[in-house]
Amino acid sequence: MAVWPTDQTMRANDINFILATDCGSTTTKAILIGRQGDEYRLQVRGEAPTTVEAPFEDVTVGVRNAIAELEELSGRQLLDDDGQLIRPAQNGTGTDVYVSTSSAGGGLQVAVVGLVRRMTAESAQRAALGAGAIVMDALALDDGRRPHERIERLRRLRPDMILISGGVDGGEERRVVEMAEVVAAAKPQPRLGSGFQLPVIYAGNVAARTRIAKTVQDVTALTVVDNLRPTLEQENLAPARAEIQEEFLRHVMSQAPGYSKLMQWVDADIMPTPAAVGDIMQQIAADQGINIVGVDIGGATTDVFSVFEGVFNRTVSANLGMSYSITNVVAATGLNNVLRWVPGDIEAGDLENRIRNKMIRPTTVPQWLEGLKLEQSIAREALRLAFEQHKQLATGLKGVQQERDIADAFQQTRAGEETLVDMMRLDLLVGSGGTLSHAPRRIQAAMMLIDGFAPEGVTRLAVDSIFMMPQLGVLAQVHPEAARQVFVRDCLVPLGTCLAPVGQGRAGGPCVVITFTDTDERYEITAGELRRIELPEDTTRPVTIDPARRYDIGAGRGRAVKTHVQGGAAGLIIDARGRPLELAAEPEQQRLAARQWAQAVELYPEVQ
Amino acid sequence: MAQAYTPGLTVAESITIRKERRLPLTGQVKVSVGDVVAAEQVVAETALPGNVTTINVAHDLNVNTEEVPRLMLKSEGDSVQTREPIAEHKALWGIFHAVSRSPMAGTVENISPVTGQVLIRGPAVPVELTAYIDGTVVEVLGDEGAVVECQGALVQGIIGIGGEAHGEIMIAVDHPAQPLTADLIVEDCRDKLIVGGAQVTLGALQQAREVRAAGVIVGGIDAAVLDKLLGETLGVAITGDEDVGITLIITEGFGELPMAQRTFDLLTTHTGEQASLNGATQIRAGVIRPEVIIPHPSSAEVPPEPTITELSVGSPVRLIRDPYFGVLGKITALPEELQKIETESLVRVARIRTESGDQLTIPRANIELIQQ
């Protein structure tokens, strides 16, 4: 595989054109980035159906088609007559760098095995998720299953790889060997291809390595890395994550149709799509010194990413999505929870059938306003549920360097239940996926994010316009500055800022006073109200936010905050509905409230 | 994307159908290229590893784990019977005597001095793979299976429940808009593929199961009926493993939706003929549709039917999104420019003249081509 720079003499300054693709399960998306003076900017984007499946069974066919669309749109020839990439860029043709991510074929699917569900198994789960995997199951001694049930489960799963963790270094070995015996007894088969052994990564107690090897090496392809939980007080996920990605390339990608060719084309390792998104988010959080939550709501799954105080977490809600899994969202939350977000009346009679018809015809789009309102209401619940799951996993003991003293360790369960996600400290909430990025009005995307995530205090909102984060994530591996510039200038569409005081008060009573200190404009907002104030994109204005005594906007109850608020297509949204966000109990009242809120922010055309 | 529409499901009178029959593990292939096979004929077989159970021998004998191998009465590879002693420990001249017994018949697979556990594996589970369709073996897949080919009719549904089955086609309704109700399912339906119309009631499905029908194919189903049949809500459209006693294929979608006339006519033409059917569905990457295959060997060469992949003026289409779900029509125009629809979305549209003469503007994503 080529490792950048292909030409050792090529330096970042020599790079004028960058081609990046993201090979998804259904669509391959390509972007062309070009340098204009000192700036890297998105030039064009193109897409084509992914061709991993029959009749093509070669991912590079779809990649070439997507690149061909870039050629048409940009007028720049990128492929030669033989269909090969022209490199380096010269005389109006070719590209200097080509990188790619992939989630085709269902992405990277991993089963994790640990000892204690809330300790090593959870750490292993975090390692796998952080590497961009879907965790198919987490087996542990206390998972409530009997050994033969675990064996049967592993045999049926057919994952791409298994990650075994367990035990602190130098600790007792017997239990982790017991779990390895489960893996060996299952004789697990890989999902793709039958001519090789399933990759197994051992990241547990170093003292048990020899016995683990003896137990599983005859039936699996074993690799060993540092313990991901070397002591009770320390989590060390990086080596396991790196090995998962290495195995992804070595075994999974090389088995997928056409990937051996694609791996020769790229100038950096192909990354699992979610891993690339995680990388770019961490980089932006570090660059700007901010806390970020990002969400990608897709047809089948919803990924949530967070970076708080530099600690990265990712979760995948495997069956919360807006087309393939839309019925599951409604089943998980209940139809009544969906309907509470629908402004006004909706014909309820045939709703269940309509939702299922979206599941089986996933590419259809709402044609009538009522259909759009229903889908956006379901999206709010999908986001809310996915974020709940994220908060449950984004808990204590994160990162390599996080040390806890032994007193904390004795309180493992309690400490582990405290989420790292602190909405009051959240600076930026980014949404992506068709439902958010392609919402007809940007305010609709903003309100889905606000209702789904319930941000507190002062939070900037944005959407990834065309879901470029994967390509920028892998680009950051080879040219971080170009990735950063395109992310800031072309990727994020600022929606505006949400001000949401924490607290509850009597409806109609005082909640918060907003004063723009540059003009002395003053807005008094009452409890229960939702208000939208125009604030154009590229505008930042100084404000004083003065909450009533029951409310906290970030400095404590009743204490004013002076800050700057950033504009966007949705403007400044003041959410005085209270936190936690409690909706009316009666369906009639819920629909009335939803209608009032929709009118207040001009959510839909009919209620302006 | 240039092609923002859903390609239609295949409903074809005579096409070449190939089915890959692959074992879950390598095994023995029983057929050769050129063999003519029947649907229920075994083409390959293997033995899946038996179920396993673990016995905590160290605990049973109250000894340290490393002592377990010394106290075993059986070695790795030995057969054991249910309740047969596999290890024993005598101490103090036999005063303390502990025995560990196997809870199941099988083979001792592993004795672990580290965990003190012994793994017993039950007898291998034989798996036989049938041809599924009447046809000819055209390829052998090493020691994993074979590809069987036939000439025949193919009807793809939109979603199904349950796995492979075989049965004779029996039309139970007078027209494709007639619901399939319990009173239409009679004793004669045993082993038959029952063809219904617009909808199927829960009573009809229960009755079909009662008389041991092979399967039911029908236009629509109410979401609540399917939930009751399954005993849970179907959250994602990945099916085929359900054990509900019958294979069910839905051709149009959820709700009261008449079966497409063309589908109904094709099935009617083959009344009394044997069909292979499978409810397995996967509406995701690697899409799998439920299907009915009716092999009808023909000596005449049948040219492959061209698959329509492009929308064009005059194409017959079906609308697949409310408020026009199920409406049929023809494309009268395909404007190039994006158009704003009621939701304010800018989308590529098609103009449709419906069978009742109405003119509609529809997002191309909400159109399904009808293959002719």
DSSP conformation letters of A198-209:
PEEEE-S-GGGH
pLDDT at A400 exceeding the cut of 70: no
Type of residue at A522:
R
Summarize pLDDT for A517-534 with one digit per residue, the tens: 999 999 999 999 999 999
Rounded to a whole number, what is the distance in Å from the CA of A515 to chain B's nearest CA? 34
Q: Is B1 exposed, middle or buried (0-12, 13-18, 19+ CB in 10 A)?
A: middle
Q: Do A359 and B283 touch (CB under 8 A)?
A: yes
Residue among A180, A141, A188 at smallest CA distance from A160: A188
Residue among B291, B238, B220, B20 at smallest CA distance from B135: B20
Residue A499 has which token pair? 């001000």
pLDDT at A212 exceeding the cut of 80: yes
Nearest residue on chain B to A301, judged by CA atoms? B236
Question: pLDDT-based confidence at A334, cuts 50/70/90?
Answer: very high
Q: Do B235 and A151 touch (CB under 8 A)?
A: no
A210 Cβ partners below 8 Å, 6+ apart? none
Summarize pLDDT for A577-597 with one digit per residue, the tens: 999 999 998 988 999 999 999
Chain B residues whose beta carbon lies within 8 Å of the beta carbon of residue A175: 115
* Helical spans, DSSP H, in A131-171: 147-157
Q: Do B114 and A174 touch (CB under 8 A)?
A: yes
What part of A 158-177 touches B (C-beta under 8 Å)? 173-175, 177
Q: Do B1 and A49 touch (CB under 8 A)?
A: yes
Q: Across-strand partners of A548?
A: none
User: Which of A25, A147, A372 is closest, CB to CB, to B343?
Assistant: A372
Nearest residue on chain B to A152, judged by CA atoms? B51
Residue range(s) occupied by CATH 2.40.50 in chain B: 52-121
Cα B177 to chain centroid, rounded: 26
Q: Do B235 and A319 touch (CB under 8 A)?
A: yes
Query: What does the pLDDT read at residue A317?
Result: 83
Dist CA A6 CA A11 (whole Å): 10
Query: What does the pLDDT read at residue B121?
Result: 86
Enter the pTM of the model. 0.85
CB atoms within 10 A of CB B34: 8
User: Which of A106, A328, A361 is closest, CB to CB, to B6?
Assistant: A361
Dist CA A450 CA A468 (whole Å): 22
Question: pLDDT-based confidence at A608, cuts 50/70/90?
Answer: very low
Chain A residues whose beta carbon lies within 8 Å of the beta carbon of residue B44: none
Hey, what CATH class is A12-104 in? alpha beta
Instruction: Write down the CATH number for the domain with range A107-260.
Output: 3.40.50.2300
Q: Do A371 and B321 touch (CB under 8 A)?
A: yes
pLDDT at A335 exceeding the cut of 90: yes
User: Which of A47, A187, A361 is closest, CB to CB, to B1?
Assistant: A47
Query: What does the pLDDT read at residue A416?
Result: 47
Radius of gyration of chain B (CA): 28
Choosing among A350, A364, A369, A438, which should be mutated to test the B contact, i.e. which has the most B CBs within 10 A?
Answer: A364
Chain A residues whose beta carbon lies within 8 Å of the beta carbon of residue B114: 173-174, 177-178, 211
Would an 8 Å CB–CB cutoff place A368 in contact with chain B? yes
Given the structure tokens 């977490």, which residue do they identify? A313
Choosing among B65, B228, B251, B254, which should be mutated to test the A contact, i.e. which has the most A CBs within 10 A?
Answer: B254
CATH superfamily of B11-17+150-295: Phosphohistidine domain (3.50.30.10)
Dist CA B159 CA A353 (whole Å): 13
Residue among B284, B202, B6 at smallest CA distance from A359: B284
- ipTM exceeds 0.90, yes or no: no
Better-predicted residue by pLDDT, A91 or A207: A207
Rounded to a whole number, what is the distance in Å from the CA of B367 to chain A's nearest CA? 8
Summarize pLDDT for A189-211 with one digit per residue, the tens: 777 665 678 999 999 999 999 99
Query: What does the pLDDT read at residue B285?
Result: 64
Chain B residues whose beta carbon lies within 8 Å of the beta carbon of residue A356: 223, 234, 253-254
Cα A500 to chain centroid, rounded: 23
Cβ contacts from A onto B, under 8 A: 167
What part of A 428-447 touches B (C-beta under 8 Å)? 438, 440-441
Rounded to a whole number, what is the distance in Å from the CA of B294 to chain A's nearest CA? 23
Query: What does the pLDDT read at residue A399?
Result: 35
User: Which of B284, B321, B344 is closest, CB to CB, to A364?
Assistant: B321
Q: Do A357 and B119 touch (CB under 8 A)?
A: no
Query: What does the pLDDT read at residue B305?
Result: 53
Rounded to a whole number, what is the distance in Å from the CA of A189 to chain B's nearest CA? 9
Chain B residues whose beta carbon lies within 8 Å of the beta carbon of residue A605: 344
Half-sphere exposure of B144 (CA within 13 A, CB side): 11
Q: Do B6 and A372 touch (CB under 8 A)?
A: no
Residue range(s) occupied by CATH 3.50.30.10 in chain B: 11-17+150-295
Percent over 90 (pLDDT), chain A: 57
User: Which of B52, B255, B342 is closest, CB to CB, to A185?
Assistant: B52
Query: What does the pLDDT read at residue A193?
Result: 61
Q: Do A152 and B51 touch (CB under 8 A)?
A: yes
Nearest residue on chain A to B362, judged by CA atoms? A367
Q: Do B342 and A175 touch (CB under 8 A)?
A: no
Would an 8 Å CB–CB cutoff place A48 in contact with chain B? yes
Given the structure tokens 């003119």, which residue do they identify? B359
Rounded to a whole number, what is the distance in Å from the CA of A36 to chain B's nearest CA? 28
Q: Do B323 and A369 touch (CB under 8 A)?
A: no
Q: Do B325 and A357 touch (CB under 8 A)?
A: yes
What are the per-10-residue average pLDDT scores of chain B (372 residues)? 55 91 86 96 88 87 92 95 95 85 92 86 89 96 92 94 96 96 94 96 97 96 95 87 92 92 94 96 80 80 55 89 89 93 92 95 89 60
User: Which of A52, A211, A327 is closest, CB to CB, to B235?
Assistant: A327
Q: Do B54 and A48 touch (CB under 8 A)?
A: no
A377 Cβ partners below 8 Å, 6+ apart? A338, A339, A340, A341, A342
Query: What does the pLDDT read at residue B8?
Result: 67
Rounded to a whole number, what is the distance in Å from the CA of A364 to chain B's nearest CA? 5
pLDDT at A398 exceeding the cut of 60: no
Helix axis angle for B223-230 and B202-210, nearest 10°, is 40
Residue by residue, DSSP assigns B38-57 as -TTSEEEEEEEPPPEEEEEH
Chain B residues whose beta carbon lies within 8 Å of the beta carbon of residue A300: 236, 284
| Cα separations in angstroms, A448 against A297, A369, A390, A603 | 11, 16, 17, 11
What is the average per-residue pLDDT within A124-129? 90
pLDDT at A407 exceeding the cut of 90: no
Domain ranges of chain A: 12-104, 107-260, 287-319+422-607
Would an 8 Å CB–CB cutoff place A576 in contact with chain B? no
Would an 8 Å CB–CB cutoff place A217 in contact with chain B? no
Residue by residue, DSSP assigns A250-305 as IIIIHHSTTHHHHHHH-SS--EEHHHHHHHHHHHHHHHHT--EEEEEE-SS-EEEE
User: Which of B223, B287, B345 is closest, CB to CB, to A365?
Assistant: B345
Q: Do A353 and B222 touch (CB under 8 A)?
A: yes
pLDDT at A547 exceeding the cut of 80: yes
Query: What does the pLDDT read at residue A8?
Result: 39
Query: What does the pLDDT read at residue A1?
Result: 39
Q: Do A357 and B322 touch (CB under 8 A)?
A: yes
Dist CA A85 CA A21 (whole Å): 13
Instruction: Write down the CATH number for the domain with range B52-121.
Output: 2.40.50
Dist CA B196 CA B177 (whole Å): 9
Nearest residue on chain A to B360, judged by CA atoms? A367
pLDDT at A9 exceeding the cut of 70: no
Nearest residue on chain B to A187, judged by CA atoms? B49
What is the average per-residue pLDDT within A477-488? 91
